[in-house]
Chains A and B, each alone.
Chain A
Amino acid sequence: MKQTLKKALPFLGLGFAAVTDRAIPNSTQQPEADGPYFFYFLLILAAAYLLAFLCSFFFQGLEEKLAHKAPFLAGAALLVAAINLAISKFALLPVLFFPCLDRVFGVFAADRALLLRCILASGKLLIIGFLIGGGLGFLTGVLIGFSKKASYWISPIMKFVGPIPPTSWSPLVLSLFTTAYAASVFMVALAVWFPVTLMTSSGIQNVGNSYFEVASTLGAGKFHKICHVAIPAAMPSIFLGIFYATCSAFVTLVTAELLGADAGLGWYLNWEKSMMMYANVYAGLILIAVICTLAITLVFKLKDHVLVWQRGVIKW
């Protein structure tokens, strides 16, 4: 019973947000919105949570998860309600830069086709850049981690070039690549390459010598040791590199799409900002945040799957 009450908390938060939104009219300083989109957004959230709430009665795992998260979700709903009151209802902040939430969420409805195109374009750029940068980074990292010679020649270059923000390459990159798209891919790949290389090589260099000795006494050759000892042992570190890479890929994305892209979330943000359409900018920001969170969640899920052996050994 107590558990159920706790789980119901988010309804209270969402209810408060909805009631205040409906009861108090938007400030007259705010330009008129096309419809009560913030209210629709709350409805969608409430419906989604209701679904989870009902399912939780049948799944023990979900029940605990939901009870654990419920106070946070309720708090988040209250925070959104407070933002709605401050910006939309009382216009406490300059209305040009802080458009009312109905207009922000209205963008998702009005621009949905364009936004979808942008998501696909950005997704494609990210995935291509990630595969190229991550693949090369992994290979470079293994090479540096395993061969003293490679470490001698490549490692200083990596450490010299790596910390330069990938976006600051843009002037050079534009003259090196024939198409702007290739230049964008290069920047994302570079942003991914550095952390993956660094964490892969340091992960491999830190593998305890005892594992290699065990493998030697069991008759493992060099290649077997690389693939079946060094790389699995370095996996926790490699995943940390992939995690950093995911974050820096998103950071780079916004600038990379400045280079003559005609779609993409970064492009959308820049375009709408230059048009002073701040409602659209906020919508784009929310979208990037959601997609970035999803990508990181995906990385973590993959990590949990691959590193099932270290559950209870290492935490991060």
Chain B
Amino acid sequence: MVGEIKIEHARKTFVNPDGSSVTALEDVNLTVRPGSFVTFIGPSGCGKTTLLRAIAGLDPADSGAIFLDGEKITQPGVERGYAFQQANLFPWLNIRDNIAFGLKARKEYKEKKDDVAKFIEMTGLQGFENSYPHQVSGGMRQRAALARALVGHPKVLLLDEPLGALDAFTRMNMQDMILSLWKEYNMTMIMVTHDVDEAIYLSDEVVVMSARPAKVEQIIPIDLFRPRRRGQDTFLDYRRKILKILDFAGDIQDVDYYL
């Protein structure tokens, strides 16, 4: 089993245009077990996304280090797939070409052509292969973005609130889809979310983070059988527990940008 993420003393400070600086991550230490599903939850603007981007290699940490299976992460790589908050599909490519983008970029398209069709099917996008992104719904765009990130068979899939902009029903369907993709491909999943229910429903472990600068407040293993039911008592117990910690952590602040 591969896909272990180890974060050691990660620090990250952003300098604002006016010269002031904001510490987004302060000494984050965390190990994500291979093949597990972990969510980061915490107040808005606390630095969850910063941490995820650091794992992706998009904005490396200032000090400290992040390792994938013992290897230090310095730049983006195919073995770490990333699903962005906005689907960010390339509007000039149809759904199929969007999904095939990574394969083509790495010149693997010829050998792995069938993967594209497989992921189109797994994400329920048959019949929309030739549509352009603006012609399909928001949920389909996110599914296509997931398929695009998965087609390279990453060891770790990083999910930055990809369901945040979807309506409740689409969201729940997508959660099930994400779980089935996870089961099928055995990769490590790390997801950032605001939604406590989503975190409990999906994860093996919920990492509750404190308000900025982000630190790991508490790690809560979710000991429930799958498929989980959102209404069951034990589910609600976890919910109360996490909400209580979040309250302690400073709860939701009015921050209108993400770190």
Contacts and interface: CB of A to CB of B under 8 A. Distances in A.
Most buried by B among A217, A228, A310: A217
A312 B135 CA distance: 9
Contacts of B149: 217-218
A312 B91 CA distance: 11
B92 A232 contact: yes
Given A218-B148, A313-B134, A211 B90 contact: yes
Interface residues of A, number: 23
Contact of A229 (B75, B80, B90): B90
Contacts of A233: 90, 92
A213 B58 contact: yes
A224 to B, nearest CB: 5
Contacts of B94: 309
Contacts of B135: 312
Contacts of A218: 78, 101-102, 105-106, 148-149, 152
Given A216-B58, A217-B76, A217-B81, A210 B88 contact: yes
A215 interface: yes
Interface residues of B, number: 28
Given A233-B92, A309-B91, A313-B91, A219 B84 contact: no
B93 interface: yes
B77 interface: yes
A22 B29 CA distance: 94
B56 interface: yes
Interface string A208-240: 001101111111110010001100110100000
A301 B82 CA distance: 37
Contacts of B104: 224, 228
A211 B93 CA distance: 12
Contacts of A229: 90
Contacts, number: 75
A204 to B, nearest CB: 14
B132 interface: yes
A219 B152 contact: yes
B86 interface: yes
Interface string A275-316: 000000000000000000000000000000001111011000
A310 B91 contact: yes
A217 B105 contact: no
Contacts of B90: 211, 214, 229, 232-233
Contact of A215 (B77, B81, B101): B101
Nearest to B102: A218
Interface in B105-133: 105-106, 132
B78 to A, nearest CB: 4
B231 to A, nearest CB: 36
B88 A214 contact: yes
B187 to A, nearest CB: 14
Contact of B92 (A210, A213, A235, A312): A235
Interface in B126-180: 132, 134-135, 148-149, 152
A313 B133 CA distance: 10
Contact of B105 (A228, A307, A309, A310): A228
Contacts of B78: 217-219
Interface of A: 210-211, 213-221, 224, 228-229, 232-233, 235, 307-310, 312-313
Closest 10 pairs (CB-CB, A-B): A218-B102, A220-B105, A219-B78, A216-B76, A217-B82, A232-B92, A309-B92, A219-B106, A217-B76, A309-B132
Given A216-B75, A217-B56, 10 more contacts: A213-B88, A217-B76, A217-B80, A218-B102, A220-B102, A228-B101, A228-B105, A229-B90, A232-B90, A308-B132
5 contacts: A218-B149, A219-B152, A224-B104, A224-B105, A309-B92
